[in-house]
Amino acid sequence: MSTANALEVGRLMSEAPMTARHWQIVCVGAVLMMLDGYDLSVMGIVLPTMAEAWKLEPSAFKWALSASLIGVGVGSVLAGLMGDRWGRKKTLLFMYGFGSVACLATVTATDVSQLILWRFLVGVGMGGAIPNVISLVSELMPAQRRAFQIVLVYSGAALGGALGSLLGSYLIPHFGWTSAFYVGGIAPLAIAVIVWLAVPESPAFLVSRERNVEARATVRRFLPTLPEDTQLIMAAQSGAEAGSSGFSGLFSHGRAGSTLLIWLLFICTQAMVFFIQSWYVTLLARTGDPIDTVLRTFSLWDFGALIGGVLVAWLATRIALEKLLCFAYIMAAGCLFMLSQVSSISAATAIVTFATGFSIVGASFCMGALAATYYPTRIRTTGIGMGLGVGRVGSISSPLIAGALISAGWTNAQIFSAAIIPAVVASVAVLALLKWGRRQELVNPGASHRALAD
C-alpha cells in the first residue's frame, strides 16, 4: 500500500468533529464509572447495618473499608500491563466482570476476614477497569473536547455513590445489607454486554498491533468519509519525546519541589475523599437519626461532587487551577468544621454535606489536570500516574486512622475536626506550588489550559 494515503491515527481521532457516536461512548463510559463508583463505595453504605447484624463494633470493619482501596492500586498496575498487551476493551471487560463477580460473592462472607478478601478483589477488578475506561475515552475523543469529556465520564463515579446512598435507603431497610451487593454485582454484568456491543477498541492500540483493517473500520465509525484504502500509522516521536523519561524525570530540571508538593496534594485530597466516603454514614448514624435519613443526606455528598467536579473543570479553562483548588480546600475545611458541630440531621446538615462533596471531590477531579501542567509530554503520564499512586497513601490510611479514633472513643466533633488538618495542609501546599512550582506554561505559554488535550 502506498504511503501517499497514510494518515496518523491519533491525529485523525483528535481532529474529528464531535458526533453522536462520541456522545454514545461518553454515556456508556459514565455508566461504567457510575457502577464502578457504586461498587467501591457500597461498603461504607452498608456498614452500620452490617455491624448490627454481625453484632460487631463498626471499627472492626476498618480493614474491610481499606481493602478495596488497596485492591484498586493493585488492579490499576495489572490493568496497565494487560491493557497494553491485550487491548483496552478486553482488559476493561475482564476486570469489570471480575469485580462484579467479587461483589456478588461478598454476600457469602461469614466473618470479617472473608469480607476483607472479597472487598480486596472488588477493588482489583474495579480499580483495573478505571484506567482502561479513561484510556478508551481519551483515545476516542476529539482533542478539543477530550479534557471535559473525561471529567464527565469520571463524574459518573460520584453519581454511582449517590445512587448507592439512595438505593441503600430503600433496599437495606426492606431487604437487608446483602441486597446492596446483589445490585453491585448484577448491574455491571448487564452493562458489560452493552460495552461489548457498543464500544470499539482503541484504534491507536489496533494500529500498534498491526491490525489495520479493524483500526480503519473503527475510525470510519467516527469519520465515515475516510477512504477505505487509507493506511493508518502511529505518530513518529519528536526529539523532545525521544529524550530521557521515567521516574527520574520527575525530579530533574528543577521539578523536585513541584513533584513533592503535587504528591502531598494527592495524599491530602484522597485522604479527605475516602474518610468521608468510608465513615460519614457511620458517624452520622451515631446522632440517633434513622439510617434511611442518614443515607438520603449522604447522597447529597455525591451530587455535590458531581456538580463540583464538572464546574471546577469548566472554570479551570478560565482561572488558574491552583487558585481554584486553594478555594476548594478552604471551603472543605469550613465544611468539615460545620460537620463537627452536627448533633442531629437537619436541612443545614444536608447543605453542608452537599458543599463538602462539591469542594473535596471537585478538587480531586482536577488533580490529574493540575499534574499535567507541571510535566512535559514525555513524562506527563508518569507524573500523573505516580501522583495517583502516591495518593493511595491517603486513601488507604485515612479510613484506618478514623476507625482507630472511633475505637479510642473519639467523638464526632473530634474526628471531623481532625479531618480539617489535610484540608489546611493542602491549601498551604497549593499556594506554595503556585509561588514556587515549575509550571510548564513558563516555557510553553497556555499549556495549563491545553495540557489534557496534548
Domain with residue 373: its CATH number is 1.20.1250.20
Same domain, 166 and 208: yes
Higher pLDDT, 15 or 110: 110
Contact 326, 84 (CB under 8 A): no
pLDDT of residue 422: 95
Segment 392-410 shows an average pLDDT of 87
Domain endpoint, select from 209, 234, 259: 234
Q: Is residue 410 part of a domain?
A: yes
pLDDT, residue 2, reads 47
pLDDT-derived band at 453 (thresholds 50, 70, 90) equals: very low
How many angstroms separate the CA atoms of 434 and 437, rounded?
6
Grid cell 469485580 — which residue? 99
* Range ranked top by mean pLDDT from 332-336, 340-344, 400-404: 332-336
What's the one-letter identity of residue 32?
A: L
Report if residue 451 sits inside a domain. Answer: no
Query: Does residue 261 share a domain with residue 213?
Result: no
pLDDT category of residue 424 using cuts at 50, 70 and 90: very high
Question: Which of 234, 264, 281 is where one domain is finished?
Answer: 234
Q: Give the number of C-alpha atoms closer than 13 A to the C-alpha of residue 377, restricted to the C-beta side.
A: 12
Indicate the DSSP class of residue 111.
S
Single out the residue in 208, 234, 260 at which a domain terminates: 234
Nearest-angstrom CA–CA distance, 150 and 184:
23
Give pLDDT, residue 239. 45
Q: Do 431 and 287 share a structural domain?
A: yes
| 188, 247: one domain | no
Are 372 and 452 spatial neighbours (Cβ–Cβ below 8 Å)?
A: yes
Total count of domains within the chain: 2
Calculate what percentage of the chain has a pLDDT beyond 90.
22
Residue 133: inside a domain: yes
Q: Per-residue DSSP letters for 257-307?
A: HHHHHHHHHHHHHHHHHHHHHHHHHHHHHTTT--HHHHHHHHHHHHHHHHH
Query: What DSSP letter does each residue of 406-426 carry, written as one string?
Result: HHTT--HHHHHHHTHHHHHHH
Question: Angle formed by the axes of helices 20-54 and 143-175, to 10°?
Answer: 30
Q: Clarify whether residues 415 and 281 are in a common domain.
A: yes
Helix and strand counts by DSSP (H, E) for the chain:
18, 2
* Residue of 387 and 93 predicted with greater confidence: 93
Q: What's the distance, Cα to Cα, between the start and end of the chain in Å? A: 30
Note if the pTM is more than 0.85.
no
> What percent of the chain is modeled with pLDDT above 70?
87
Beta strands of 11-157 (E only): which ranges? none
Q: Are residues 212 and 294 in the same domain?
A: no
By residue range, what is the domain housing residue 251?
Answer: 242-446
Q: Is residue 66 domain-shared with residue 190, that is, in the same domain? A: yes
Cβ distance 390 to 267 under 8 Å?
A: yes
Same domain, 22 and 142: yes
Is the same domain home to 261 and 153?
A: no
Report yes or no on 454 lying in a domain.
no
453 located within any domain: no
Rounded mean pLDDT of the chain? Answer: 81
Q: pLDDT-derived band of residue 242, with 50, 70 and 90 as boundaries?
A: very low
The answer to whether 207 and 9 have CB atoms below 8 angstroms apart is yes
> pLDDT category, 439, cuts 50, 70, 90?
low
Q: Is the model's pLDDT at 123 over the cut of 70?
A: yes
> Of 362, 367, 370, which Cα lies nearest the Cα of 391?
367
Write down the pLDDT at residue 395. Answer: 83
pLDDT recorded at residue 234: 66
Residues ≥6 apart with Cβ < 8 Å to 95: 75, 78, 79, 82, 124, 125, 126, 127, 128, 129, 132
- The arithmetic mean of pLDDT across residues 302-306, rounded, is 80
Helix (H) or strand (E) holding 8: strand 6-8
Q: What is the pLDDT of residue 118?
A: 94
- Tell me, yes or no, whether 44 and 86 share the same domain: yes
Q: Are 263 and 392 in contact (CB under 8 A)?
A: no
Q: What is the pLDDT of residues 223-241, one digit of tens each?
A: 887 877 777 776 654 444 4
Residue 211, pLDDT above cutoff 50: yes
Phi, psi of 8 (to 5 degrees): -75, 125
pLDDT in tens, 58-74: 878 888 887 887 888 77
Cell of 324: 481554584
Do 30 and 109 fall within a single domain?
yes
Is 315 part of any domain?
yes
| Residues in contact with 314: Cβ distance below 8 Å, sequence separation at least 6, in sequence order | 148
The Cα–Cα gap between 91 and 193 comes to 14
Q: Are residues 176 and 288 in the same domain?
A: no
